[in-house]
Structure 1
Amino acid sequence: MPAQIHPSISQRLLARDAIKLGRFVLNTDQPHQDYFDPPLESPPETTESEQIDLVEVRQDDAKAQAAASLDPIADVSRSKHDQGQVAIATAKSAIYQLSNSRNWFRAALQEQKTRDWFERAILEGSEIYLIVGYQAVHDAQLSKEQSVSKGNAAILRAPIAAALAMAGVVLNFGLSVDPEISRSASKSHVAGESHVALGEQISAVQYRKVRFKWYSSRNLDKAQLEKGSWWKMQWDFRGQESGVNDVVEPQLSDDESE
């Protein structure tokens, strides 16, 4: 299980009711859209860790560069550098985590409504995540700064020496007569803001990604299907042979990137 809590997307705070422990979501960018809360009678077991005088600084740094060579005529390159920084300061915050997330996951899969929701997500090609933790801040001071710089560079060469040689002209001195013209340009943009987020809001969310193992019902009997968290898909994939890879077993990954 990942030890750290991942910053909420777009370096922004989320409303308190946008997050719920034990909830399945399809999009970590928008966890309050297209989610599913398992219809279990007992609420999930949770742990809480309070913090005071919290100050956090998060920084994202992305660089990209592309180059094209039209040798021996010209070289062209483009670069882009995105850098963002978010600072959060609050006198009171807390981290909430789902206890025994695997047990909650297995219990949720026993519900037919959960399986139906999973099947629709699978058929739509969506990824599924389980919310296992979040960080809440109270009356936090939020400061953001974003900078973007772009650059272009070009080098143009005039192969005069090669052209003279083809024409039979021999140069007796060692210096090159090929001129080279270079040009570069860059521009940057910096934006920032600072404000106080009143009340309790979510500054970070922790997910565990759901992955799937597939089996063929031809090789399984009814007793095996009734054991554990396997089940036979109600809907077949178009063009798929009957009885092949039609049994799914969802599992929680230990790493969100898996």
Structure 2
Amino acid sequence: MSPSILLSQFFLPPSAVSLGRFITSLDNPHQDFHDPLCSSSPEVIERVQVQYDSIRLSVKNQNMASQLTTLLSSSFSKRLKASIRISADQAKTYYLNNAGQWFRDAVRSKETQRWIERTIDEGEDIYMVVAYHTLLDARIIEQLGAQSAAGGSLAIPVSTVSTSLTASGVVVSSVADPGVGGTRRRTEDEQRHFMAPGEQTYAVQYRKVRWSWFASNKVDKVMLAKKAWWERYDRPRYLESEAEDMIEVDLEDETALEGDRNENAIEFEEVFVSDAQ
């Protein structure tokens, strides 16, 4: 099973991600994408988990939902350089059922075929969205610390959390700059609370589109009947018949991820990866 990618911008509304969508950026499924035109809508399987809060359970008894809370909290903390804890009333996963058949139906569209060829010519990789994960009414608590010296004070600045999350549609509450004052050196902890109202997407799972050019007169027609292929649109007319005039596409079972990423397995069912910080 291909891993799910934690979004670099933390959250996206579900309307920004679609099952069966073709994309070029693992971190930004809402940009430079193509939604295939098919005669039927994607068949969706949903899995719901409630009471999504890891601190309610001991480490030995953590279930999948609580482990995900720990994973997300850790990822937020690393990116924002602060201690973060996340909880929500519900976690949900949407899966594309029978992804292989959906893919074969999708690439029959001439618009999709042209988009694939153009993207290949631009040197981009192509992926298809096969699942995405959401939280409902996620609550984010940022734990901060500050010190003050004798006769002075040290203000705790508004964290970059509010800026980062507001850009993702998160409503921020209790964001005033709390001051720390006193007459002797001490450490005080402060908490800030953030809210992501409604359903928010935090991770997306993909399968990579594999493609190859070939000459139609050198391939067994019986084998061609079993694959998704078409005659390339950009083929110059002066090319000889033995030139690579056809393109074949398929989905890879496993997606090899480039770059430095952290990988986390959850209950042997899901694998989530994030950018290494």
Q: TM-score band, normalised by the shorter chain?
A: 0.5 to 0.7
> What is the distance in 2 between the residues matched to 1:133 and 1:200?
15
Look up the SS of the partner of 1:102 in the other structure: helix
Percent sequence identity over aligned pairs: 35
Q: Say whether residues 1:93 and 2:106 are aligned partners.
A: no
Look up the SS of the partner of 1:13 in the other structure: coil
Give 1 or 2: higher strand fraction: 1
Look up the SS of the partner of 1:119 in the other structure: helix
RMSD: 3.1
CA shift in 2, pair 1:231/1:13, >3 Å: same
Task: Look up the match of 2:165.
Answer: none
Question: What per-residue deviation string (whole Å, max 9, x for no partner) do you get for residues 81-130 of structure 1?
Answer: x9787643101121110011001011111121111111111111111111
Alignment length (residue pairs): 191
Task: Look up the match of 2:70.
Answer: 57
CA shift in 2, pair 1:48/1:26, >3 Å: same
> How far apart are residue 225 of structure 1 and its match?
5.4
> How far apart are residue 246 of structure 1 and its match?
3.7
> How far apart are residue 28 of structure 1 and its match?
2.0
Give 1 or 2: higher helix fraction: 2
> How far apart are residue 208 of structure 1 and its match?
0.9
Question: What per-residue deviation string (whole Å, max 9, x for no partner) do you get for residues 132-153 of structure 1?
Answer: 11111111013579xxxxxxxx
Q: Is 1:57–1:85's contact at 8 Å kept on the other side of the alignment? A: no
> How far apart are residue 223 of structure 1 and its match?
7.5
> How far apart are residue 257 of structure 1 and its match?
1.3
TM-score, reference length from structure 2: 0.60
Look up the SS of the partner of 2:228 in the other structure: coil
TM-score, reference length from structure 1: 0.64
Task: Look up the match of 2:272.
Answer: none
Q: Mind listing any 5+ residue stretches in structure 2 that lack a counterpart? A: 54-68, 144-158, 163-192, 258-277
Which one of the candidate residues 17, 20, 26 is aligned to 1:19? 17
> How far apart are residue 243 of structure 1 and its match?
4.1
Look up the SS of the partner of 1:9 in the other structure: coil
> How far apart are residue 196 of structure 1 and its match?
0.7
Task: Look up the match of 1:183.
Answer: none
Q: Is 1:143–1:192's contact at 8 Å kept on the other side of the alignment? A: no
Largest Rg, 1 or 2: 1
> How far apart are residue 253 of structure 1 and its match?
1.1
Q: Is 2:210–2:250's contact at 8 Å kept on the other side of the alignment? A: yes
> What is the distance in 2 between the residues matched to 1:211 and 1:83?
38
CA shift in 2, pair 1:44/1:85, >3 Å: farther
Q: Mind listing any 5+ residue stretches in structure 1 that lack a counterpart? A: 61-81, 146-189
Task: Look up the match of 1:76.
Answer: none
CA shift in 2, pair 1:17/1:222, >3 Å: same
CA shift in 2, pair 1:30/1:48, >3 Å: same
> What is the distance in 2 between the residues matched to 1:242 and 1:41?
34
